[in-house]
Every structure is written in structure tokens, then in C-alpha cells.
Amino acid sequence: MGYKMQKDKVLTFTKVLCISVVIGAIISLFIVLKDIDNSIALSFLKAYVFLVFFINVYIPIITIYNMRKLKWNEIKNRLFRFITILIIFSVLSIYRYYTKSLSLDTELFKELIFPLVLSFYITFFDIVFLRRRKN
């Protein structure tokens, strides 16, 4: 019973983090669009940037931790879907890189980070909120 309660705490913490990021994004957008320039707004934006950095580290860790609850067959299917989406987005990104006159500062490596992150979140985001072992 203690283990289930601990898992519920992790799930609740994850939900609170995700809701905080959404609310923080709305408030940050309001601060930037209204051009609010005071120390409280600046402190909030700094805290929001830290929160976004933290959640971008936290989500992959929790995803990998929760993947152990899945059956091997489902993990293989998700990895296949991840690789497929990654290849599609990477090809589109490379096409965009070579067809558009991007600045010389832009490297191809930087162009491939976005497809990697996007395909990871599309494929594995629901695992973050996985509660119990699937039968």
C-alpha cells in the first residue's frame, strides 16, 4: 500500500508540474506581450525558465522509469513508431535546411534536435502519466 501511495505522489507531482508549465506559459506570454518591466515580472520569468528546464529533464527520466511497466511488445512498437516519426521529421528538417537560405550560424545538428525531441514527446508522452502495470 505504501508503494502505491508513493507512485500516486509521483503522478500528482508530474501533473502539478505540467499544469504549472501551462499556467506559467500563459502568464509569461501576458508579461511579454504587455511589456511589463519590473522586478517581479523578471523574477517570474527567470523562475519559469528554470521550471521549463527542469521539466525538460524530468519528463524523459520519468518516461524511462515508467517504461518498465510496459510489456516488451508494446515497447518495441513504440520504439518503431519513434524511429519512424524521427526519420520523417528529420528528412523534413534536412529538406528545409538545404532549401531555405538559413544563416551560416545554423548547423545541421541544431536542426535535428527539434525532430528528436518532438518525436520523443509524440511517442512517449502518455507514459509519463502511466499509473499501474498494464495487463
Q: Are residues 45 and 95 in the same domain?
A: no
Q: Are residues 80 and 47 in the same domain?
A: no
- The per-residue pLDDT for range 39-58, each reduced to its tens digit, is 999 999 999 999 999 998 99
**What's residue 7's pLDDT?**
59
Q: Are residues 6 and 33 in the same domain?
A: yes
pLDDT > 70? residue 99: yes
Sequence-distant (≥ 6) Cβ neighbours of residue 107 within 8 angstroms: none
**What's residue 47's pLDDT?**
95
Q: Are residues 120 and 97 in the same domain?
A: yes
Q: Are residues 77 and 135 in the same domain?
A: yes
DSSP state of 105: T
Residues above pLDDT 90, as percent of the chain = 39
Domain that holds residue 39: 1-62
Quickly count: other Cβ atoms within 10 Å of residue 20's Cβ: 14
**What's residue 131's pLDDT?**
63
Residue type present at position 5: M
Q: If pLDDT is split at 50, 70 and 90, which confidence band does 96 have?
A: confident
Q: Are residues 39 and 76 in the same domain?
A: no
Q: How many domains does the chain have?
A: 2
